Amino acid sequence: MLELWTPKYLFWPILLIALFAFLRSILSRIQVLRMAQKDPRLDHLKERFRSLLLDGIMQWRQPRYPFSGILHLVIFWGFVVLSLRSLQLLSYGLGISILSPFETGAFWDLYGLLKDVFEILVLFTCLLSMARRLLFNPPRYKGSHEAEAYLVLGLISFLMITDILFEASYCLLAEKNELSISQAMAIPFLKFSRTSLEVIYNLSFVLHILAFLFFLNLLPLSKHFHIITALPNVFFRKLKTGSIKPVRYNVQDIEDLEYSGTKYIYDLTWKHILDIYTCTECGRCSDNCPANLVGRELSPKMLTLKLRESIYKTYPVTVQKKERPNPIIPGEVIGEGEIWSCTTCGACERECPVFIEYIDKIVDMRRYLIEQGQGPSSFNQVFINVEKTGNPFGKPPAKRADWAKEAGEIPVRILKKGDQVETLLFVDSYPSFDPKANEVTLSVVRGLHKMGEDFGILGPLERDSGHQVRRMGEEGLFELLREKNRNLLSEIRFKRIVTIDPHSFNTLKNDYGLQIPIYHYSQYLYLALENGRLKPKRVIREGTYTYHDPCYLGRHNGIYGEPRELLKGILDAPLREMSKSRDRSLCCGGADVGLWYEVREEERMASKRVKMALEIGADHIVTACPFCMIHLEDAVKTMGLEERLMVVDLMGLIDSCL
């Protein structure tokens, strides 16, 4: 390197001031994390490191949006490669040579090449990104800090340009035969005088360092904080989808808490605040959120941004405020319309490139509202019914197994305490009482019977699984149901549980902590098809089919293959995929809040879904969830499409082939 004009003692104070300001901001952000609630995230370290590598460093989720994903990958990898260069330049300015042991040999030559390539790539990508934002700004950026995006893209471009100029002028001044790319960059300056080159050399260096330090200080104040927080956020991600967090971690007696759920910022867990710091405002969550899609009040991205604004306003980096802040709910920061719009489908969480969690945050806000008696009044009777009768309809428990009278000659064994059985069929409330869901229950029972399965149901003793009430925010009621069901299950001997509804499957599997295999019927019947216990007698040749993935089977529990394999086993007709399928499946409207609370929306989720089925020319939508079936069938009827489209349950279809 050539001697710089600027004296070294000038860089030291600048660097120290910049570092001081940066650390101050960071410490203030950390202070909020420390105020927040506990949230243990150091389990399953192997899985965490694996995710850090794949989802953090390899950025597996980025290409789900191919164009912007690839742009981001280039810039990210540019940052990784060029961080060494930044360190080199900084140490150069300071007159210390911490990197000199490495600055020789083949590695450094290769690095020089890599650096040049990435600087050009990153510059090109930044320009492309700006052009993309200018020309085809995707709607998912609505509400994001767009000026800031341009500022940062401009800043990165500026960093690249100043370093390219610095390197090019250096090549010419040193008359060194450096690597070809650096030389190529120097071509435009070949005819410059030595003085001009020296001006370029010095000016680009100073500007580069200043821009770098400015950028550093901008990070904790902007959406680009994710440059620092994204990797930790991925590492500390929620590993078990489908489950709901406890009211408080590390609190023995939640009855001693002044209130449950989230009222103030510091009721969030530290991880949830890290989420809020990390949001890149890319809007992929809202772009996939069914509530947002049908014009409900909720946009997951805006939920995070509003919370972020509230945190930054309450705890700015400049003032160390300690007083009790304003509540964030109800209505202060997050409105009730947002809180009750979520169907907990998980599309936002599945999409987020940095694994921000939404469901737990929203459920915690619901918990607060429900405990304060501020939930929708239409829930009151539902909760009382569930508490008193074990089902949301308020039907007498004695009638819980009445559906079995329709099973004809098939004996449906109603288990009592002390009984023994191979397979326990957990029916749950809707499949026990709802006439439409009853049909699914009966077809499951017929299927099990034909397989020669030894099975039984809990009948009047069974209580609602509590999946719904937990997600509606009635945690105490959920705990009551879980305790009663768990006690009951502990008094019957069985080898496995099979469920009809994916929601009961999810909650038994993820919320109950049972040490016994739990299957959704689609999994269990798939196994039976594989080992020949289930033998379809005929195949279906007519119609065009599509499979609608229920959220709590697919996204939350990763079951995509089994239902499709079962379908292939009985279909000799086209099976097509809708534009949104598998982990991008569009929620039908959900199985909890939406059943008892009319949320303002422009269109029903189910009718959007039905249109997707029509688009691919399907005349049968197959699903494996009673709620999906109810919602979709409703939409087909209200849209007057009964002649063109049929909604069938997977089990009903299999049953017709046995």
* Residues at the interface with another protein (CB under 8 A): 254-255, 260, 370-371, 373-375, 377, 379-380, 383-384, 387-389, 394-399, 474-477, 479-480
For another protein, the closer of residues 26 and 480 by Cβ is 480
Report in angstroms how near the CB of residue 476 gets to another protein at its nearest.
3
For another protein, the closer of residues 260 and 523 by Cβ is 260
* CB count in 10 Å sphere of residue 7: 9
296-549-422 Cα angle (round to 5): 125
Using an 8 Å Cβ cutoff, are 247 and 366 in contact?
A: no
Report in angstroms how near the CB of residue 389 gets to another protein at its nearest.
6
* CB count in 10 Å sphere of residue 656: 14
CA distance 197 to 192: 6
Tokens 């299927």, located at residue: 447
At 292, the amino acid letter reads N
Tokens of 554: 């697919």
Report in angstroms how near the CB of residue 457 gets to another protein at its nearest.
18
Report in angstroms how near the CB of residue 526 gets to another protein at its nearest.
34
CA distance 528 to 417: 28
Report in angstroms how near the CB of residue 36 gets to another protein at its nearest.
22
Print burial letters for 582-619: b (CB count within 10 Å at least 16), e (below 16).
bbbbbbbbbbbbbbbbebebeebbbbbbbebbbeeebb
For another protein, the closer of residues 250 and 377 by Cβ is 377
Report in angstroms how near the CB of residue 406 gets to another protein at its nearest.
15
For another protein, the closer of residues 53 and 398 by Cβ is 398
Report in angstroms how near the CB of residue 347 gets to another protein at its nearest.
29
Tokens 């994710």, located at residue: 226
For another protein, the closer of residues 331 and 396 by Cβ is 396
For another protein, the closer of residues 382 and 622 by Cβ is 382
For another protein, the closer of residues 55 and 462 by Cβ is 462
Cis omega (within 30 of 0) for bond into 316 = no
Return all residues near 147 (Cβ < 8 A) that are at least 6 apart.
Answer: none
* CB count in 10 Å sphere of residue 415: 22
For another protein, the closer of residues 211 and 339 by Cβ is 339
Query: Judging by beta carbons within 10 Å of its beta carbon (0-12, 13-18, 19+), is residue 258 exposed, middle or buried?
Result: exposed
Report in angstroms how near the CB of residue 471 gets to another protein at its nearest.
15
Residue 8: CA count within 13 A, CB half-sphere: 10
